[in-house]
Amino acid sequence: MTAVPNPGAPDAIVIGSGFGGAFAADTLVDAGLRVLLVERGPWRDTAPVRAAGIAQRSPLPRGRHAVTHLLRRLDAPLLPGGALALHAHGLFDIHLARDLSVVCSSGVGGGSHVYSAMNARPAVARFWHNRADGIEDARMQAHYDAVIARMGARAPRAGDDIPNFTGTRFRNDAGFTGDIEQPAMGFDFASRQFSANSYFGSADGSKVTLDALLLAPAMQRGLTVLDLHEALSIRRDAGNGWIVSLRNHRDGRYTHLRAPRVLLAAGTLNTLRLLFASRAQGALGEMPALGLGIGGNGDSIGWWARNDAGADYSRGTPCHGRFALRGEEDGPCITSFGVNGIDDLPLPRALRDRLRRDLILVGMGADEANGFARWRHGRLQLHYSREANPVLAQLQASFARIAQRSGKRVLSLPHCPVTVHPLGGARVDDNPRRGVVNGRGEVHGLPGLFIADGAALPAAPGSPPSMSIAAWARHVATGIARHGHTRTRQQQETCA
């Protein structure tokens, strides 16, 4: 007896709704596939999401929700079981580890709520060249063009009159300059809303986020989004498709969904957890390269204790922009931020006033992506060597020169690398012993299983990776549509 196809079953399940999941789902829906997207976090309560008619939303961590909705989960070696689940509606997951700590976010729209709005191409020239069969650099550039255009991103200009924009702030500064290539930003400059729009989210919608830009509109075209549904495992079904087991965080119930193809885009750490856990259950075969190629994109964070009288660095775009030491304009990517959203934090006023006079520096660069992840006793362990990634020392040296030139301290923790851009672990490579996915994003030996997020990136782009992840996801989804996996219009009408 052959299984009767269920006309209501999805053609594809997308796990995760960040830059990978959202662009993959949007592309597949446009190609005519019936797509179900599952996201472990909630819809966030922002103006555009309310305007889209999404009824159930969860607040961003501001005001009276600043503490309760800040953290979702904390992974740390000394915790019982290695992890503490705090609040299913929390915005951030923190994974603490000696070698590399990671901060990532949760919610429909993924990292777009907390990122810097910088929509950049790789700092590494010809990033996709010779990575795998089926990947052409020129074609990938077309994907970058498409996703950046879709974000409506453009570089800030002096005429935008943006508070604290580095392109204007350092104009008369002898030590620093912002007169360098500025990244395009996914930001509504016309809104003139320049506060509370960065890493704690953008409640007013001035920062372009994927829930409002892509997912809510895609729901009008047939996309189904299950928020607060966390994928726990994936395994093959009886008919060469896939089963995704989910837990509903609203009522604790478990659901098992079936689809001919599954796209993992849960964010690097969560995609790796899902792959490792499912492999440990014998559900995914060998995947010998799983865990290889971990990197943090060279992320380096510093606190620039400027204490500039009269300054309010909390205002501006989500990121103030890039800057460089004069004479080192070709140096690494260093950006400045204020304590954005500080007025919504439950802090004494004197402390808030003090903090708004300081800056946060974030440096990025192409690290070697030579770390690895392992799965031990049900926990993900990251191994990463600072010494084997010289870009970290280079960025710390840049911070030291910034401090010297400004006469103001830059505080950092060079021996405790932290990244908000974990990449790799399920990277693309034609050789299954070096990579987990092929050039189409499909897992070697597991037809119908794809990886469409930062876990698949073959190297560090050295610049904010959101557009690289989006371009990769679009590439994967376009390939699925092109290779005849689309349900034809006739089939759709027959099953309706």
Partner 1 sequence: MTARPAFTPVSPAELLRQSQAELDALFALLPAPDAAGVGGCWRGTLMAIRGLGWLPRGLAAGTYRLLATPLNPWRGKDFSGQAGANRWFGLPGLAFAGYRVRSMRSPVDGLPVVWLDYDLADNPAPLRGIRGEARQLGDNLLLCRMHWQGRAGLHRVLYFTLARAQ
How near is the Cβ of 283 to partner 1 at its closest, in Å? 4
- What is the residue whose two structure tokens read 């255009």? 149
Min dist. Cβ of residue 429 to partner 1 (A): 18
Interacting stretch for partner 1, rule CB under 8 A, among 131-139, 180-188, 189-197, 245-253? Answer: 245-253
State both tokens at 156: 């800030």
Q: Are strands 449-451 and 262-264 parallel, antiparallel or unpaired?
A: parallel
Q: Using CB under 8 A, pick the residue from 152, 154, 226, 245 that binds partner 1.
A: 245
**Vertex 124 angle, CA 122 and 125, to 5°:** 100
Location of structure tokens 């073959």 = 458
From 88-96, 129-137, 166-174, 273-281, span contacting partner 1 (CB under 8 A):
273-281
Q: Of these, 280, 351, 388, 495, which contacts partner 1 (CB under 8 A)?
A: 280
Sole binder of partner 1 in the list 8, 53, 80, 282 (CB under 8 A): 282
Between 281 and 307, CB nearer to partner 1: 281
Q: Which is nearer to partner 1, 283 or 416 (CB)?
A: 283
Count of residues interacting with partner 1 (CB under 8 A) = 27
**By CB under 8 A, is residue 434 in contact with partner 1?**
no
Q: What tokens does 316 get?
A: 């501006």
Residue among 77 and 81 whose Cβ is closer to partner 1 = 81
| Minimum separation from the CB atom of position 235 to partner 1 (A) | 6
Task: Please report, as residue ranges, which positions from 371 to 410 form the binding site for partner 1 (by CB under 8 A).
Answer: 378
DSSP secondary structure letters along 44-102: B--HHHHHTT----B--S-GGGTTTTTEEEEE-TTSGGGEEE--TT-SEEEE--SS-EE
Smallest gap from Cβ 107 to partner 1, in A, equals: 22
**Nearest alpha carbon to residue 102 among 420, 325, 318:** 420
Closer residue to partner 1, CB minimum distance, 373 or 457 = 373
Contacts of 168 (CB under 8 A, 6+ apart): 158, 162, 178
Query: Is residue 243 involved in binding partner 1 (CB under 8 A)?
Result: yes
How remote is the C-alpha of 363 from its chain's centroid? 17
Segment near partner 1 (CB under 8 A), from 186-194, 209-217, 243-251, 420-428?
243-251
Residue 283 as a binder of partner 1 (CB under 8 A): the answer is yes
Does 63 contact partner 1 by CB under 8 A? no
Spatial distance between the Cα atoms of 451 and 265, rounded to a whole number of angstroms: 6
Q: Which of 195, 233, 297, 419 binds partner 1 (CB under 8 A)?
A: 233
Q: How far is the CB of 229 from partner 1 (least distance, A)?
A: 13
Q: Which residues, at least 6 apart from 223, have a Cβ–Cβ distance to it below 8 Å?
A: 25, 26, 29, 35, 36, 37, 215
∠ at Cα 53 (37, 30), nearest 5°?
Answer: 40
Min separation Cβ 287 and partner 1, Å: 10
8 neighbors 461 (Cβ within 8 angstroms): no
Whole-angstrom CA distances from 44 to 260, 340, 430 are 30, 18, 39
DSSP characters over 424-485: -SS-B-SSTTT-SB-TTSBBTT-TTEEE-SGGG-SS--SS-THHHHHHHHHHHHHHHIIIII
Closest CA to 16 of 246, 250, 281: 246
Shortest spacing between CB 251 and partner 1, in angstroms: 10
> Smallest distance, Å, CB 278 to partner 1?
8
Beta carbon nearer to partner 1, 152 or 288: 288
Question: One symbol per residue from 178 to 217: x for binding partner 1 (CB under 8 A), - otherwise; what is it?
Answer: ----------------------------------------
Among 247, 352, 401, 408, binds partner 1 (CB under 8 A): 247
Q: Which of residues 248-267 bind partner 1 (CB under 8 A)?
A: 252-256, 258
- The residues of the shown chain that bind partner 1, judged by CB under 8 A, are 1, 232-233, 235-238, 243, 245, 247, 252-256, 258, 277-283, 285-286, 288, 378
